[in-house]
Copies of this chain bind each other. A is one copy, B any other.
């Protein structure tokens, strides 16, 4: 079966064919590979293979390698001559510092250049609440991970500080795989329930137009989520 993107129904090769220039092609490849990494289509430790990927994407290795190189700079891949291009491991101990920083940055989201509470913004979060409700009814690992990613991007839109957005996004993609990795050892329905409750809290704050409250709430949730992850890791190792 040929892989197709969720939105458009087109294959990657078709999307790349339709791209206007090299920068668009780069964005498509970069985004697609990053998505596969954080959805564990490419699990930590797995090998990518430049030629196979280039073949699937319908391009040569040269433009593909640019995407791989930037993902390596992002800390998601590691390429070494003679060995291969490997997806980096995610270890909760090593991610502790990233999580600490992410918590502080989330607080800044409500502080630096908060957006105005537009109708579009509220509609976006309303949509998130609805998707959370659907997820609660039929919880799956993949939908949980997908909503986690999409809700992150929605939250990002609460601040107009673009550097803050860029930095937060990099750090998010360094950490988000840990959930999919550890959730098999956890109670999926329970975690989904907690996560959807958190979304409800934040959407409540957004609908009131209080973005700073939304940011503090999210910071608290991040902190508690990290503690649950650590607890999970501790029980798994005993």
Binding site for B on A (CB under 8 A): 21-23, 66, 69-70, 73, 80-81, 97-98, 100-101, 104, 108, 111-113, 161-164, 167, 170-171, 174
Contact = CB atoms under 8 A, between A and B. Distances in A.
A162 B104 contact: no
A222 to B, nearest CB: 14
B163 A101 contact: yes
Given A66-B69, A69-B69, A163 B97 contact: yes
Nearest to A80: B23
A101 to B, nearest CB: 5
Contacts of A100: 112-113, 161
A168 B135 CA distance: 37
A21 B81 CA distance: 9
Given A21-B81, A70-B69, A104 B108 contact: yes
Q: How many copies does the complex hold?
A: 2
23 contacts: A21-B81, A22-B81, A23-B80, A66-B69, A69-B69, A69-B70, A97-B113, A97-B161, A97-B162, A97-B163, A97-B164, A100-B113, A100-B161, A101-B108, A101-B161, A101-B164, A101-B167, A104-B108, A104-B112, A163-B171, A163-B174, A167-B167, A167-B171
A18 B22 CA distance: 34
Contacts of A167: 101, 167, 170-171
B101 A112 contact: yes
A73 B171 CA distance: 15
Contacts of A80: 23
A70 B98 CA distance: 21
A215 to B, nearest CB: 13
A111 B70 CA distance: 30
A88 to B, nearest CB: 14
B112 A97 contact: yes
